[in-house]
Amino acid sequence: MSATEAVSHGAGRQLMLTRGSQAALFVLAVVLLCRLLGAQFEWLVKWPTALTVPMADWMTWLVGGFLDVFKPIARTFTFLVSYPMEWVGWLLNAVPWPMTVALVTALGWMIGGIRLAALGFFGLMFVVFTGYWSQGMNTLALVAVSVPLALVMGAAIGILAFEYPRMKGAVNALLDVMQTVPTFAYLVPLLVLFGFGPVVGLIASAIYAAPPMARNVLLGLERVDTEIREAAVMSGGTRRQQLFLVELPAATQQIMIGVNQCLMAALSMVIIAAVIGGFDDIGWEVLQTMRKALFGPAFLAGSVVVVFAIIIDRMSAALAEPRQPQNRTVAYGILAVGAAVTIWAVLAGWPPSGVAAMDGLAKRVDEGVGVFTATYGTTLDNIKNTSMFYVLLPLRIGLAEAVLPFTWGFAWTVKHTAMLYGSALLISLILIFKGRVTAAAMVLIIAYIAEIGVAHLAWPVVILGAGAIGWVSGGWKLARLAVILLCLILISGLWERALLSLYLAGAAVFACAVIGGLLGLWSAMSTTAWMILRPICDFLQTIPLFVFLIPVLMFFQIGEFSAFIAICMYAVVPMIRYTRHGLVSTPDDIIEAATASGAGKWQTMFEVRAPFAAPTILLGLNQTILYAFAMLVIAALIGTTELGQSIFLALGQYDVGLGITAGAAMAILALVADRLVQGFAEERRQALGL
Amino acid sequence: MTDKNSTAPAIAVEDLWQVFGENAAPALRDARGAGDDKAIAQALKDKTLIPAVRAANFEVKSGELFVIMGLSGSGKSTMIRCISRLIEPTAGAVRIDGEDILQASDKRLIDLRRHKLGMVFQHFGLFPHMTVADNVAFPLKMQGAGKAERRARAMDVLELVGLEGREDTYPRNLSGGQRQRVGIARSLAVNPDIWFLDEPFSALDPLIRRQLQDEFLNIQATLKKSIVFITHDIQEALKLADRIAIMRDGEIVQIGTPEEIVLHPVDDYVAEFSKDVPKGRHACVESILMDGIPDNMPDDPGIKIGMTLDTALTKCMELYEPVPVRDADGKVIGAVHPHELANALQAEET
């Protein structure tokens, strides 16, 4: 975006400021005001405690009353659902493992031939050998009951939104909220409603897994070709016949994508729900071993989760694609072999819990990690400390506080402050001279953030800054939304924690944008790179959030840096994918035109592909932000001090008010960031006429 | 074409309006005061509403092949969707065998569609999850017909469109021409009286298009349906139609036989369409008969009623006196001047 343009208007020369530079100058003015007057008027920097309202208490009162009303209904539901859950759990545990392995292998064969059969066989055999068979089956029992619930709820919501367009806006808003509210925040009110026990995890996972189903059903129905719809009408079908005989079947492919996402979300949430108290499922196993710093078992249990996730994902994804019918005889053969092995296993007296052949492995992993950390401990610590002291800490509390003789070798004084601002001023003067007002203002604002840190930012800077960005990206309406929502956090008393969330998420998103952007660019330039990165991306997107914590903990122990790494690992994937996709999917005729104009490979990349990919890349950034916030809450488990920690605390203390308020604050941050970026993406898309 | 058909029209469209936009119906009522149809349309446009079909009036006789032709955006697709009530027209009446279907209840409408109406779509509108036979039998399934009956009837119509042997394949395995044959078969499955075709051949290659047009004419010759056929291709319209309605900006500018459209376009817009049409192939000698019959005609090259100008001209290439025109029984009913024949053909070259 060019900063300014001097446009001559017949009558005389007039400096025209773009929207961007107007906003930047406005924010700069706010920064100056807060920085210069902050010392005299403390309320300009720190919102007075007297002016906060006990929102958490109000929530406790309000929601508490509400929950009390619904508690009997919910408890009845708990009672009802606990039966099918127990039955499925009993069934999965009662079936001898060779039979289950054979069934899944045969299913894999029917769905996707030899490839999926092998995946099912080796995957489940791995689970058998880890000795976590019964825990695994308990987890699957939860998924097996929560997924049908989620599918039915999701499909009903999707169909409803499609049939009554007036409800579509409301439904979409609801789905947005359901997906941005952090996972743990769900759990607190659900705990109160449904009581302790595995059923809460089941219901939480059903709620969490319903939105992707609803979205895909709605999308699928909307994408059914008009003529197919009209053909059903002209055939004399009633509305119900049209829907169930034509429109839903025609939308099958999209709906199956919804089923796939629904399964993955349910599994992920079932694992997460272990934090509220497990009942011998695999999530609980991961959590327990992790807490005891038993990395070997944690690693094995985590691998079981990953194996389940991969099997479920690949098999259900294959259902969404057109496929060749497979030979049934092979499936029967597999089942027969399974039955034979079952009889043999029973006669030989193999325990149904499986053969834990991997305890040795767990021990070896433990030892290996021990040796590794002992050998490379200093290197790992160096990496950690360097990043903390020179990057993350200054970003959080500002250079003024982070620069200490102990780490940086000198103490920060007024002289340094003057030097920081002096050089920033110099750069910005040069930029103004070149006519780039926006950049000039940005340099000064960044200098301010560098000096005092994200966690100490004056509240008017954050709120009005978000408002200004909103104004640039989506006009007054978006600006108003951002300001009002952020003000809610401000008066709720959670502001400081929210700033810490903002800092951690912001740092992670920034790192992801740079690394993911570069990796995406690399994958777009070279097919080999994509061949390497693609399975890694697939893998990272398949494993449940929880599992990210295990390797990070192994190497970097508990702390903010580990949280940062875990968030980055999870959130970098969409950035890579979207960047590559955007860069690769430039229309052929445009590339041909560029080539015909004599553009080289890199020229084409930066002059043609990059601008064209901008909206897609922005969408990737948007996804990365949402992913980062989702992981932020999970990362609270390994030691952060931000909102996620509050939510986690609320969970432990059964504090509905705090849980909901902190969850809402987190959702607000994610929502505002989402809308701001989407505004820019939309603007770019329209500019390109897409 | 003169009114030889004394029976009630199969379809009668009366003062039909389709206005898109918010609160279209009241806006149209208000705009009625503005004056003639053009003024009403302008008044609606001023309110940012879109009058996609304006005051349409026409009749389709029983067994007639009525073609609606116009450029894209002229409202022809909207028109056929109004007549079949796939969209709700803003005002007017559509009578099918005398019954105003715009007033019909949902139940009655479903009933009509199950028994009386058939429709073919531009992009075929085949159900991707059903086999060819299931696609064709779908309207019968809606009627509640049994499985065996559905299958038998599906086989019959598939044979009619030349697709026997493909009944158990899926639409995705068929070529464009074959898919449209399935579309045609499906629309004929319930043996409807009224047949709507919305640009059925536009998405096909020229060669396949001509082949299907010929087969379509054959089918129509045996089945004698009352047809509304939409196209943007003047050649297709002239080849198929009994009568043609030409639309522009939602308005029907001319209704006439192919010959009338070619020889007597009402305005430049219509003339522009028929500019490249070889008139000699579509116009008949009747259209250029002289006033009265001269007493003395030395030559008689055997010109007959119904003969195209092309054929007539080849018969009197060397002649320059009026020649007699005879009917089927050989009785002289008029005369034509060879000079006029040549003139009529030349007019197109301008």
Rounded to a whole number of angstroms, the distance from the CA of A323 to the nearest CA of chain B is 13
Where does the pLDDT of residue A251 fall: very low under 50, low under 70, confident under 90, or very high at 90 and above?
very high
- Section B223-238 average pLDDT: 92
Residue A382 contacts B where some CB pair is shorter than 8 Å: no
Which sequence spans correspond to the domains of chain B? Answer: 11-116+192-277, 280-349
Question: Is residue A498 domain-resident?
Answer: yes
DSSP sequence for A364-414: HHHHHHHHHHHHHHHHHHHHHHHHIIIIIHHHHH-HHHH--HHHHSS---H
Identify whether the C-beta of residue B188 lies closer than 8 Å to the C-beta of residue B220.
no
B contacts of A321 (beta carbons < 8 Å): none
Identify whether the C-beta of residue B44 lies closer than 8 Å to the C-beta of residue B207.
no
Residue A252 contacts B where some CB pair is shorter than 8 Å: yes
Over 60: is that where the pLDDT of B118 sits?
A: yes
**pLDDT for position B237:** 92
A22-25: long-range pairs with CB below 8 Å, 24+: A23/A468, A23/A469, A23/A471, A23/A472, A24/A437, A24/A438, A24/A441, A24/A442, A24/A445, A24/A468, A25/A437, A25/A441
Beta carbon pairs, A and B, within 8 Å: 68
- Section B71-95 average pLDDT: 91
Over 80: is that where the pLDDT of B347 sits?
A: no
Over 60: is that where the pLDDT of B22 sits?
A: yes
Q: Calculate the average pLDDT of chain A.
A: 85
**pLDDT for position B200:** 93
Residue B118 contacts A where some CB pair is shorter than 8 Å: yes
pLDDT, tens digit, 9 for 90 and up, residues A640-657: 778 888 888 888 787 888
Identify whether the C-beta of residue A194 lies closer than 8 Å to the C-beta of residue A206.
no
A contacts of B185 (beta carbons < 8 Å): none
For residues B220 and B342, which has the higher predicted lDDT (pLDDT)? Answer: B220
- Section B175-196 average pLDDT: 92
Over 50: is that where the pLDDT of A375 sits?
A: yes
User: Dihedral sign, CA of B311, B316, B321, B324?
Assistant: negative
CA A34 – CA A567 distance, rounded (Å): 32
Over 70: is that where the pLDDT of A351 sits?
A: no
Interface with chain A: mutation pick from B127, B172, B195, highest number of A CBs within 10 Å: B127
B119 → chain A, closest CA residue: A234
**A228-250 burial code (b ≥16 CB/10 A, e <16):** bbbbbbbbbbeeebbbebbbbeb
- Put simply, the answer to whether B123 touches A237 (Cβ < 8 Å) is no
CA B77 – CA B86 distance, rounded (Å): 11
Q: Which CATH superfamily is domain B11-116+192-277 in?
A: P-loop containing nucleotide triphosphate hydrolases (3.40.50.300)
Range picked from A166-175, A654-663, B51-60, B255-264 for highest mean pLDDT: B51-60
Tell me which residue range forms the domain holding A599. 487-690
pLDDT, tens digit, 9 for 90 and up, residues A185-242: 778 888 888 877 778 888 888 888 999 999 999 999 999 999 999 999 999 889 999 9
**pLDDT for position A355:** 60
Q: Give the E-state strand segments of chain B in sequence order.
A: 11-20, 50-60, 65-69, 91-96, 99-100, 117-120, 194-198, 226-231, 243-248, 251-256, 303-304, 323-326, 332-336
Question: Is residue A662 domain-resident?
Answer: yes
Over 90: is that where the pLDDT of A321 sits?
A: no
A7 CB-side CA count, 13 A? 7
For residues A452 and A278, which has the higher predicted lDDT (pLDDT)? Answer: A452
Range in A175-184, A446-455, A606-615 with the lowest mean pLDDT: A175-184
Over 60: is that where the pLDDT of A71 sits?
A: yes
Residue B127 contacts A where some CB pair is shorter than 8 Å: yes
CA A218 – CA A160 distance, rounded (Å): 9
- Put simply, the answer to whether A235 touches B127 (Cβ < 8 Å) is no
**pTM for this model (two decimals):** 0.80
- The conformation of residue B290, written as its DSSP 8-state character, comes to P
- What are the angstrom distances between the C-alpha of A680 and each of A153, A439, A465, A472, A617? 33, 17, 15, 8, 11
For residues B337 and B136, which has the higher predicted lDDT (pLDDT)? Answer: B136
**pLDDT for position A8:** 37
- Put simply, the answer to whether B110 touches A249 (Cβ < 8 Å) is no
User: Dihedral sign, CA of A30, A32, A37, A39?
Assistant: positive
**pLDDT for position B349:** 45
**pLDDT for position A357:** 63
Q: Give the closest of A233, A246, A250 to B86, CB-based.
A: A233
Where does the pLDDT of residue B38 fall: very low under 50, low under 70, confident under 90, or very high at 90 and above?
confident
Q: Give the closest of B124, B125, B143 to A236, CB-based.
A: B143
Question: Is residue A543 domain-resident?
Answer: yes
H-run or E-run covering A14:
strand A12-17
**pLDDT for position A277:** 67
How would you write A322-338 as a 3-class SS string? CCCCCCHHHHHHHHHHH
For residues B240 and B296, which has the higher predicted lDDT (pLDDT)? Answer: B240
CA B140 – CA B146 distance, rounded (Å): 8
Interface with chain B: mutation pick from A229, A230, A233, A234, highest number of B CBs within 10 Å: A234
**pLDDT for position B236:** 92
Residue B126 contacts A where some CB pair is shorter than 8 Å: yes
Residue B121 contacts A where some CB pair is shorter than 8 Å: yes
- Put simply, the answer to whether A227 touches B124 (Cβ < 8 Å) is yes
CATH of the domain at A646: 1.10.3720.10
pLDDT, tens digit, 9 for 90 and up, residues B263-287: 888 988 888 887 777 777 777 777 7
The complex scores an ipTM of: 0.80
Range in A334-338, A401-405, B209-213 with the lowest mean pLDDT: A401-405
- Section A584-606 average pLDDT: 81
- Considering its fold, how many domains does chain A have in total? 1
Range in A114-123, A275-284, B67-76 with the lowest mean pLDDT: A275-284
Question: Which residues make beta-bridge pairs with B53?
Answer: B18
Domain B280-349, CATH class in plain words: alpha beta
Q: How far apart are the first and last CA of chain A?
A: 18
B contacts of A227 (beta carbons < 8 Å): 121-125
Question: Is residue A134 domain-resident?
Answer: no
Q: Which of A444, A417, A416 is nearest to A428 (CA)?
A: A444
Question: Is residue A461 domain-resident?
Answer: no
Rounded to a whole number of angstroms, the distance from the CA of A148 to the nearest CA of chain B is 24
- Put simply, the answer to whether B186 touches A231 (Cβ < 8 Å) is yes
**pLDDT for position A353:** 54
Q: Chain A neighbours among B 274-313 (CB < 8 Å)?
A: none
pLDDT, tens digit, 9 for 90 and up, residues B200-214: 999 888 999 999 999
- The conformation of residue A51, written as its DSSP 8-state character, comes to G
pLDDT, tens digit, 9 for 90 and up, residues A424-478: 999 999 998 888 888 999 999 999 998 888 888 889 999 999 999 999 988 899 9
Question: Is residue A651 domain-resident?
Answer: yes
**pLDDT for position B4:** 42
Over 90: is that where the pLDDT of B305 sits?
A: no
Q: Calculate the average pLDDT of chain B.
A: 87
Where does the pLDDT of residue A352 fall: very low under 50, low under 70, confident under 90, or very high at 90 and above?
low
Over 50: is that where the pLDDT of B60 sits?
A: yes
Where does the pLDDT of residue B154 fall: very low under 50, low under 70, confident under 90, or very high at 90 and above?
very high
